[in-house]
Amino acid sequence: MTLQIRTLDEYRAVYERSVRDPEGFWAEQAATFRWHKPWRRVLEWNFREPRVKWFIGGRLNITENCLDRHLETRPDQVALLWEPNDPKRKVRRITYRQLYGLVCQLANALKAQGVRKGDRVCLYMPMVPELAIAVLACARIGAVHSVVFAGFSAVALADRIKDAQAKVVITADANARGPKNIAVKTVVDEALSMGCSSVERVIVLRNTGDEVPMTAGRDLWWHDAVRGKRKTCKATVVDSEHMLFILYTSGSTGKPKGVVHTHGGYMVYTEFTFRNVFQYQPGDIYWCTADIGWITGHSYIVYGPLLAGATTLMFEGIPTYPDPGRFWEVVQRHKVNIFYTAPTAIRALMAAGDEWVKGRRLTSLRVLGTVGEPINEEAWRWYYERVGKKRCPIVDTWWQTETGGILISPLASITPLKPCYATLPLPGVQPCLVDANGNELEGPNVEGMLCLKFPWPSILRTTFGDHERCRLNYFAAFPDKYFTGDGARRDDNGMYRIIGRVDDVINVSGHRIGTAEVEDAINKAPNVVESAVVGYPHPIKGQGIYAYVITSGPVGDLSAFRQAVLDTVTREIGPIAKPDKIQVVPGLPKTRSGKIMRRILRKIAEGDTSNLGDTTTLLNPEVVDEIKSGALV
């Protein structure tokens, strides 16, 4: 096990050491894992190409550290604790020994289907244990998983399958989400009709039992694929820098990018951060409410907790089904000790009223966590007082898909708390704030763009199939720095508060959505000529989506037009990207070079039209008043 920090003084000493001697520090952490061959060099890096490699020459398989090494010490401990969508259905408990067997069996099945080291496997699945099993089975044989959140549409799924050139897709008949079943296999069929020529095989889990069409020669039931397969499978030993997974995430321009993480560094960093941030203790029941379709689920439902030998709870459902007391019901039922969720869920449950929390016995809770978006003070206080009864520290964890693991966060019960602050960098993390000219802002009480000056083991290695895009997106804005896309402030104690994105990315309910993606989707709707999308403050979602749309002529029935736009966005991306407000406008404010002035559109969407700044330099200043008068606020 990696080092577990116990006091603030120890944190300070370890942090100082990790900056003075990063290679020595991380080598010590890495040495606590099972390796087939030790590394020759700890780190090689430059942020210009960029090129970052950790534990060079080392050989391992991450799943041996998630599974095999626990077979000696905790074979009968529950690894995966599964809570179904329907509270009347049976809970599943899968021990480390059982999980090992199930992962190996599927790994053998994948091999039998022709999946080889380096091949990409797309997972489009519900939150059932088989999703975690499929993730680990891919890693076991050196294949690369690409999990696609099952709320994405067929078009979005097809885009990701094509970009990753996936050979196999694993899915289920349907997903049980709240009161309804969502037929995910049908979505896969539709996606595959859009020219996903790399796909040779579709493996279908029988989950809800709903009837699904199977395509002969291509589709195979999961239970048939694993039938008769052995429950042991020698792990494919890979290089530290062998690709572990691709996960698509939205940026400010173009289509989502496939962020690439690798076996060695990701393993060391997710285990270390899991144990330190949450101060995980053996025997704890840990619950992260994210979906495995997002990075939080990868790092802190599957890999981090399993690497640490924890019991990780996986929840199939949604926070409000059958009622808004569901989370607290689950905490009580399973005696959850560590609970990690998103501000949007906290705000939604807070809005549902205190009575849902009051009747529950939440005394098992010791640590609360939050992630995904800035948390507002009201929600922070409610979480601290009503859920944690002022006994449990809140770890406000700041990180990104690209960072692989938590970078700035309190260590539970160690770091002093400050509402809305992610507080201090973890060991090995060297943040800085820069101004628009790239000058580093020194000292306390400054606000700027958040960058990192030095690599940590789970920094993204590339964006799949397009390294130049990786460079441009993260390493080109400021020389020799990784740029996060976030703005932040640092107080007099060196604590960081994350303010939010400074680029054209909107954070809706903790989901990253690119404005360009939504605009491209809206532009496909009937009668749409052009559109511009901005975020605006939303009481529950954090940010809502405001769309300004130019149409080719009079729209006639406005509500039918809006519905057509919503349907198009749902078809192109998925329901999470549906605009909250759609305003038909005669034009968009543009600079003389033809760039849309989003600053003005953001102000109008916020309902703050008092000071729009100088609009006289616009190509078409007259549209501003017209947009203002029709604003939906």
Which residues are near ligand 7RM by CB under 6 A?
A: 249, 294-296, 371-374, 396-401, 422, 484-486, 498, 500-501, 507, 512
- Residue 299 CB, shortest distance to ligand 7RM, in Å, is 8
- Residue 512 CB, shortest distance to ligand 7RM, in Å, is 4
Taken in order 385, 388, 392, 394, the sign of the CA dihedral is: negative
- Cα–Cα distance for residue pair 329/309, rounded to 1 Å: 25
| Beta bridge mates, 95 | 78
Cis-peptide into 621, omega within 30 deg: no
What is the identity of the amino acid at 273? T
- Residue 391 has, within 13 A of its CA and on its CB side, a CA count of 10
SS3 178: coil
Q: Residue 425: which of 406, 438, 439 has the closest Cα?
A: 406
Task: Determine the Cα angle at 48 with ends 273 and 501, to 5°.
Answer: 55
For ligand 7RM, which is the closer residue by CB, 145 or 501? 501
- Residue 630 CB, shortest distance to ligand 7RM, in Å, is 30
For ligand 7RM, which is the closer residue by CB, 537 or 586? 537
- Residue 501 CB, shortest distance to ligand 7RM, in Å, is 5
- Residue 86 CB, shortest distance to ligand 7RM, in Å, is 28
Q: Are 422 and 440 in contact (CB under 8 A)?
A: no
523 burial (CB, 10 Å; 0-12 / 13-18 / 19+) is: middle
- Residue 63 CB, shortest distance to ligand 7RM, in Å, is 23
For ligand 7RM, which is the closer residue by CB, 119 or 373? 373
For ligand 7RM, which is the closer residue by CB, 125 or 505? 505
- Cα–Cα distance for residue pair 286/206, rounded to 1 Å: 27
Whole-Å CA distances, 203 to 207, 235, 293? 12, 21, 18
For ligand 7RM, which is the closer residue by CB, 64 or 271? 271
- Cα–Cα distance for residue pair 321/425, rounded to 1 Å: 36
CA 358 to chain centroid, in Å, comes to 30
Q: Are 235 and 139 in contact (CB under 8 A)?
A: no
For ligand 7RM, which is the closer residue by CB, 26 or 483? 483
- Cα–Cα distance for residue pair 427/439, rounded to 1 Å: 24
- Residue 48 CB, shortest distance to ligand 7RM, in Å, is 23
For ligand 7RM, which is the closer residue by CB, 115 or 349? 349
For ligand 7RM, which is the closer residue by CB, 451 or 565? 451
| Beta bridge mates, 542 | 508, 538
For ligand 7RM, which is the closer residue by CB, 174 or 295? 295
For ligand 7RM, which is the closer residue by CB, 202 or 505? 505
| Beta bridge mates, 177 | 180
For ligand 7RM, which is the closer residue by CB, 128 or 422? 422
- Residue 493 CB, shortest distance to ligand 7RM, in Å, is 18
SS3 253: coil
- Residue 424 CB, shortest distance to ligand 7RM, in Å, is 13
- Residue 399 CB, shortest distance to ligand 7RM, in Å, is 5
Crossing angle of the two packed helices 184-192 and 154-164, in degrees rounded to 10: 60
- Cα–Cα distance for residue pair 33/62, rounded to 1 Å: 9
- Residue 464 has, within 13 A of its CA and on its CB side, a CA count of 30
Q: Which residue has the tokens 């960058």?
A: 451
| Token representation of residue 537 | 């403050």
| Token representation of residue 268 | 């060391």
- Residue 416 CB, shortest distance to ligand 7RM, in Å, is 17
- Residue 353 CB, shortest distance to ligand 7RM, in Å, is 25
| Token representation of residue 576 | 């999470």
| Token representation of residue 602 | 């953001």
For ligand 7RM, which is the closer residue by CB, 29 or 397? 397
- Residue 137 CB, shortest distance to ligand 7RM, in Å, is 24
Q: Which residue has the tokens 């993260």?
A: 474
Please enumerate in sequence order all residues whose Cβ is within 8 A of that of 482, keeping only pairs 6 or more positions apart, or say none: 47, 50, 451, 452, 453, 455, 459, 474, 475
For ligand 7RM, which is the closer residue by CB, 244 or 422? 422
